[in-house]
Amino acid sequence: MALYCENCMRLVDTPVCPRCRNRKLREPEPGDFCLVAEVPYMQAGMLKELFSDNDIPCTDRSALGAGITVKLGVNVGLTRLYVPFDKLDEAKALYDAFFNAVPEEPV
């Protein structure tokens, strides 16, 4: 079973978080916000709306620092999206459907 890193808000399959080296991992709880994806800023807005339309709470954080985002502009930045653990599987399914959707052919 995956463990939860409170620092990174990620599920990990190792006894130490590979991102922050936190050793105080625990089992995830239903309300723990967990990383779903790291996507470009424009896609993050669309995914947040998709999650909202499906009653999945979502929060986000810039993957770059605020200074870099200000310097380069928000359209260049990456955004990390987080949803509650109990909605994570549903959010991942929507994410996969969003990025793997085949465009309809024009009529």
Domains of the chain by start residue, with CATH: 1-29 (no CATH), 31-100 (3.30.70)
pLDDT given at position 32: 97
pLDDT in tens, 27-70: 999 999 999 999 988 899 999 999 999 999 999 998 865 455 55
pTM attached to this predicted model:
0.82
Res 24 pLDDT > 90: yes
Number of C-alpha atoms within 13 angstroms, CB side, residue 26? 9
Conformation bin of residue 9: beta by default, left when phi > 0, alpha when psi is -120 to 50: left
